[in-house]
Structure 1
Amino acid sequence: MSKDIRIKKGLDIKLVGEAKQVTTELPLGSVFAVRPDDFHGVIPKILAKEGTEVKAGEALFYDKSDERILFPSPVSGKVTEVVRGARRKVLEIKITTNGTQDHKDFGKVDVDAMSGEEIKNHLFASGCWPFIKQRPYDVVANPNQAPKAIFVSGYNSAPLAADYDYVLEGKEAELNAALTALTKLTEGKVHVSVGSAKSPLASAKGVELHNVKGPHPVGNVSTQIAQVNPINKGEVVWVVTPQDLVVIGELLLTGKLNITRKVALTGSKINEPKYVSVIAGAQISDVVKGNLNNDNTRVISGNVLSGLEVSEDGFLGFYDNQVTAIPEGDDYEFFGWNKPIFNKISTSRALTFSWLTPKKKYDLNTNTNGEHRAFVVTGAYEEVFPLDIYPMQLLKACMYKDLDEMEGLGAYEVAPEDFALTEFICVSKQPHQKIIREGLDLMMKELG
Structure 2
Amino acid sequence: MPTDIRIKKGLNINLVGAAEPSTSQAVSSNTYAINLSDFHGMTPKMAVREGAEVQAGEPLFYNKDFPEMQFVSPVSGELVEIERGARRRILTLRILADKQQRVLKHQPVDVAKADADAIRAFLLQSGCWPFIWQRPYDVIADPLSVPKAIFVSAYVTAPLAADINYTLKGKEKELQAALDALGKLTPGTVHVSVGKGEDSPFAGLKGISLHTVSGPHPAGLVGTQINRIDPINKGERVWTVSPQDLVIIGEALLTGIFNPKRTVALAGSCVKQPKYYTTRIGAEISTFLYASGVNETRCRVINGDVLTGSKTRPEGHLGFYNNAVSVIPEGDDYEFFGWNKPVFNKISNTRALTFSWLRPKKKYDLDTNTNGEHRAFVVTGQYEEVFPMDIYPMQLLKACMYKDIDEMEQLGLYEVAPEDFALTEFICISKQPHQQIIREGLDLLQKEIG
The TM-score with structure 2 as length reference comes to 0.98
Report the equivalent of 2:435: 433
Report the equivalent of 2:344: 342
What SS class does the counterpart of residue 96 from structure 2 fall into? strand
Aligned: 1:188 with 2:188: yes
Matched residue type, 2:189: K
Say if 1:2 and 1:337 are closer, same or farther in 2 by CA, change over 3 A.
closer
User: Could you say what the CA RMSD is over the residues aligned between the two structures, in angstroms?
Assistant: 1.1
Report the equivalent of 1:125: 125
Aligned: 1:53 with 2:87: no
Within 1, Cα distance between the matches of 2:304 and 2:101?
25
What SS class does the counterpart of residue 347 from structure 1 fall into? coil
Aligned: 1:382 with 2:384: yes
CA contact (8 A) 2:296 2:329 kept: no
Shift in Å at residue 293 of structure 1? Answer: 3.5
What SS class does the counterpart of residue 355 from structure 1 fall into? helix
Within 2, Cα distance between the matches of 1:294 and 1:103?
40
Within 1, Cα distance between the matches of 2:425 and 2:198?
32
Report the equivalent of 1:331: 333
Aligned: 1:240 with 2:209: no
Matched residue type, 1:389: I
What SS class does the counterpart of residue 202 from structure 2 fall into? helix
Shift in Å at residue 404 of structure 1? Answer: 0.4
How big is each residue's C-alpha offset from its partner over 1:144-189, in whole Å with a ceiling of 9 and x where there is no partner? 1110000010112100110000010000000000000011000000
Match of 1:360 among 362, 380, 395: 362
How big is each residue's C-alpha offset from its partner over 1:25-76, in whole Å with a ceiling of 9 and x where there is no partner? 1232110000111011011111122111111111111111111111111111
Within 2, Cα distance between the matches of 1:289 and 1:74?
23
Within 2, Cα distance between the matches of 1:22 and 1:85?
40
How big is each residue's C-alpha offset from its partner over 1:340-376, in whole Å with a ceiling of 9 and x where there is no partner? 0000000110100000111110000000100000000
What SS class does the counterpart of residue 125 from structure 1 fall into? helix
How big is each residue's C-alpha offset from its partner over 1:306-325, in whole Å with a ceiling of 9 and x where there is no partner? 00100112111000000000
- 1:204-215 equivalent positions in 2, closer than 5 A: 204-215=205-216
What SS class does the counterpart of residue 180 from structure 1 fall into? helix
Shift in Å at residue 103 of structure 1? Answer: 1.3
CA contact (8 A) 2:299 2:330 kept: yes
CA contact (8 A) 1:2 1:211 kept: no
**How many residues are aligned here?**
448
Report the equivalent of 1:253: 254
Within 1, Cα distance between the matches of 2:198 and 2:300?
36
CA contact (8 A) 2:59 2:127 kept: yes
Unaligned residue ranges in structure 1 (runs of 5+):
none
Report the equivalent of 1:32: 32
Within 2, Cα distance between the matches of 1:371 and 1:100?
51
Within 2, Cα distance between the matches of 1:233 and 1:155?
27
Report the equivalent of 1:199: 200
How big is each residue's C-alpha offset from its partner over 1:254-303, in whole Å with a ceiling of 9 and x where there is no partner? 11100101100000011110000010111111131332345111000100
Aligned: 1:296 with 2:298: yes
Aligned: 1:42 with 2:42: yes
CA contact (8 A) 1:22 1:274 kept: yes
What SS class does the counterpart of residue 45 from structure 1 fall into? strand
Within 1, Cα distance between the matches of 2:5 and 2:103?
40
CA contact (8 A) 1:2 1:209 kept: no
Aligned: 1:115 with 2:97: no
Matched residue type, 1:87: R
How big is each residue's C-alpha offset from its partner over 1:388-437, in whole Å with a ceiling of 9 and x where there is no partner? 00000000000000000000000000000000000000000000000000
Within 2, Cα distance between the matches of 1:68 and 1:6?
41
CA contact (8 A) 2:27 2:288 kept: no
Aligned: 1:155 with 2:151: no
Report the equivalent of 2:406: 404
Within 2, Cα distance between the matches of 1:294 and 1:35?
28
Within 1, Cα distance between the matches of 2:60 and 2:417?
27
Aligned: 1:287 with 2:288: yes
Report the equivalent of 2:394: 392
CA contact (8 A) 2:346 2:366 kept: yes
Detail structure 1 runs of 4+ shifted over 6 Å in the superposition.
Answer: none
Say if 1:294 and 1:312 are closer, same or farther in 2 by CA, change over 3 A.
farther
CA contact (8 A) 1:24 1:277 kept: yes
Q: More deviation in 47-56 or 400-409?
A: 47-56
Shift in Å at residue 197 of structure 1? Answer: 4.4
Shift in Å at residue 78 of structure 1? Answer: 0.7
Q: More deviation in 95-104 or 207-216?
A: 95-104
Report the equivalent of 1:171: 171
Within 2, Cα distance between the matches of 1:88 and 1:283?
25
Within 1, Cα distance between the matches of 2:294 and 2:284?
14
Matched residue type, 2:27: P
Report the equivalent of 2:99: 99
Within 2, Cα distance between the matches of 1:271 and 1:64?
44
Shift in Å at residue 2 of structure 1? Answer: 8.3
Within 1, Cα distance between the matches of 2:301 and 2:198?
33
The TM-score with structure 1 as length reference comes to 0.99
